[in-house]
Amino acid sequence: MMDVHCIRIHAEAKLIMNKLHHKLTIPVDMLGLRLDQALVKLLPDYSRTQIQEWIKDSAVTVNGQIIKTRIRMKGGEKIDIQSISKPPLSWEAQAIPLNIIYEDDELLVINKPSGLVVHPAAGHQDQTLLNALLYHNPRSKDLPRAGIVHRLDKDTSGLLVVAKTKLTLISLYKQLKKRTISREYQSIVVGNLISGGTIDEPIARHPVHRKRMAVITNGRPAITHYRVIEKYRHHTRLKVQLETGRTHQIRVHMAYIRHPVVGDATYGGRLFIPQGATPALRQALQQFRRQALHAYALGCTHPVTQEFMRWEVDLPADMQELIKHLKQDSASGILGE
């Protein structure tokens, strides 16, 4: 007897002469899902970005008609995807030092320094983490983005997990989607926070300043949890945990609650020098030229052993130096009272 699941989902994929062809039937239990959401479930080997690109390029038809991504499924629709497989972009392998915290045959964990761009883009065509990965592991050229699963901003330091095989890449993508990869940060923000909390505000591209993100009512869901580690006279050191992973999420959310990350010129506005700050603190704040944000801990399930693994690194020297001056300033304030 034929499996009912096979009757309602008939899938066929061919890759001949670089031509990709999928035929699918939307199951009835996907009633109400957007087209792209349904395809992500039916084609787990492809990212949502890739699927949305197919739709945007009119490579997807629903019952023979070209449809946009926001159409809702009713069940039973016949989906046809035909796309020319694009050759991967050719990036140069470059001998850039990597601070590798852990590595095995499946993945590696890297402590990225501030100032290193993760992926080539306009203005940063090389000398990126991706170029370094291609040099460290030449086989990564066969993986999308050399196995990079998630990113950190150029001026954010800390831990990144990178896949070395297709199996691991798919596993880590799924863990990100299910929000089971643990990402913990430390940050120094402007102002005094009395206690921790959660910021649950959607984020999208800024309607005017297109290089920035903002809290937007119809944006993508974004949830940030934070708690206080240490208080200073005019600043607070936080532990921040991401439940979602939107672009600039921590920086946008902290600015939204009017406690921007120290050194964040994009979302923090003018440099804040508190009145009565010691000369040493004043100088330290003036010289701190990047956002005080560090991804200090990361955890994920190993795709082969199924063991949950966790890594943690110290704060970088520049943040430790800033914290030293904040403590000294707080002590001088107490003595002066």
In angstroms, the CA 143 to CA 309 distance is 23
Helices (H) and strands (E) in the chain, counts: 8, 16
In angstroms, the CA 289 to CA 318 distance is 10
Which residues, in sequence order, are bridge partners of residue 81? 22, 60
Q: Is 123 within 8 Å of 282 (Cβ atoms)?
A: no
Comparing C-alpha atoms, which of 150, 122, 166 is closest to residue 49? Answer: 150
- pLDDT of res. 184: 97
Which residues, in sequence order, are bridge partners of residue 110? 100, 160
Q: Name the amino acid, one letter, at 221.
A: P
- Please list the rounded mean pLDDT of every run of 10 residues in the chain (337 residues): 35 45 89 88 76 87 83 92 66 95 98 94 85 95 92 96 95 92 97 96 87 89 96 97 93 97 94 93 95 98 97 98 96 63
In angstroms, the CA 218 to CA 199 distance is 16
- pLDDT of res. 85: 56
Helices (H), the chain: 4-8, 35-42, 48-56, 129-136, 166-178, 249-256, 279-287, 317-335
- pLDDT of res. 46: 73
Residue 15 burial (C-beta neighbours within 10 Å; 0-12, 13-18, 19+): exposed
Say what the pTM is: 0.75
Catalytic residues: 153
